[in-house]
Homo-oligomer: A and B are copies of this chain.
Amino acid sequence: MSEPRTRRFVILAEGAFGEVSSKTARGVIRFASTPTVAVIDSTKAGRSVGDVIGASAGERGHVPIVATLAQALALPEPPTALLLGTAPVGGSLTGTWRATIFDALAAGLDIVNGLHVFFADDPELAAAARTTGATIEDLRRPPSRLDIANGRQHLPGKRVILTVGTDCAVGKMGVAIELAQAARRAGLSATMVPTGQTAMMIEGWGVTIDRVAGDFLQGTAEWLAAEGEHRADWAFIEGQGSLDHVAYSSVTLALIHGTRPHGMVLVHQPGREVHTLFEGVGRYARLRSIDEHIRAHETIAALVEPSKVVAIALNTSLYDEAEAHRIIEQIAAETGLPTDDPYRFGPDPLFAAIRARLDVPPAA
């Protein structure tokens, strides 16, 4: 993925900004070094990003929400790239967006696409891009490498941490980013390893693992861990899905058995009771308890390489601050594990606790 220094994003999130399905938009606004200059969502036009998503906009709460691409192009610092900002189930392109993508290409904007549909394979879109020299970046296109896991061992002195979770869209990416930042603040060499399209937009590299073929899932996860170890001493790998998810558990497992982490950080949102976007899936919708998740992750990891859950990262956004602290203390007491909300209260204490547990390399 090219990432020109002068790039500025406009994020297309029509009708969905602030919803769970726009987690890509939220992540890019908050974490990407490339600035977002506008969000397109006609249902919320005139408001600012911060009005809708609050503190999770980070320093970019002032970014305007506009109704049309034309309004974004009329800004004093217009965007140079259109980023598809929602991640619907299945990643399919909805028909009404197509015109906006053509308009963006006609205006010379690059397209940054994390959907399962590859725009560069669409002859009309490809032709439109050629006309203005715009690039189309299909982040979910799998690497041409066909990596079968070969059981490589970690490099000496490295620490590989995988974020796992009790659900999709629970904060695994953000926790990995925050912990890597905390490690760097502690004077360590640290990197975040993107395994999804949003983190790729933020970090500028990685693989969207959910689009890799079954035979190569674990080999690609292994390659990503190796790449993280080459980049830094502490590699925080973004997890995907959850082990009890009717649709996505195999991708979760591939990251556990492929990266074979020194430790796992379990991410959970207290108060969430059913799997996001799968509320309709009756008997499979209910989230399992933290305890069940800890046992399942450790049992399943040990089938290939033992690994422990070394910390719990909570997203306490459904509760006020006092209640959040109460929940954190309760879960810490119940699990005996370092527990905190790294978004709300900062990731440094949680990273320090993880470091204390993992600073000594496990016996070979």
Contact = CB atoms under 8 A, between A and B. Distances in A.
A284 B303 CA distance: 9
A299 B301 CA distance: 13
Contacts of A70: none
Contacts of A212: 213-214
A189 interface: no
A217 B219 contact: no
A116 B300 contact: no
Given A148-B89, A148-B90, A215 B251 contact: yes
Interface in A284-298: 284-285, 288, 296
A250 B248 contact: no
Contact of A247 (B116, B218, B282, B305): B218
A151 interface: yes
B253 A250 contact: yes
A248 B219 CA distance: 9
B151 A284 contact: yes
B304 A246 contact: yes
A288 B247 CA distance: 27
A67 interface: no
Interface in A301-333: 303-305
Given A151-B281, A296-B303, A304-B284, A251 B214 contact: yes
Size band of the interface chain A makes with B = 35 or more
B211 A213 contact: yes
A116 B285 CA distance: 35
A5 interface: no
Interface centre among A89, A91, A253 (most CB of B within 10 A): A253
A284 B305 contact: yes
A91 B215 contact: yes
Contacts of A219: 247
B215 A248 contact: yes
A145 to B, nearest CB: 10
B218 A250 contact: yes
A264 interface: no
B91 A248 contact: no
A172 interface: no
Interface in A127-163: 142, 146, 148-151
Nearest to A219: B247
Interface string A240-284: 000111111111011001100000000000000000001001111
A309 to B, nearest CB: 15
A296 B299 contact: yes
Given A148-B247, A246-B257, A296-B303, 14 more contacts: A92-B146, A151-B282, A151-B285, A209-B214, A210-B213, A213-B213, A215-B248, A218-B249, A219-B247, A244-B304, A249-B254, A253-B253, A283-B305, A288-B303
25 contacts: A90-B148, A90-B215, A91-B215, A92-B146, A116-B146, A116-B213, A150-B247, A150-B281, A210-B214, A212-B214, A213-B213, A214-B248, A214-B251, A214-B254, A218-B247, A218-B250, A244-B303, A246-B257, A246-B304, A249-B254, A249-B303, A250-B250, A250-B251, A250-B253, A296-B300
In order of increasing CB-CB distance, the 10 nearest A-B pairs are A151-B281, A250-B254, A149-B247, A210-B215, A244-B303, A210-B214, A214-B251, A250-B250, A151-B284, A250-B253
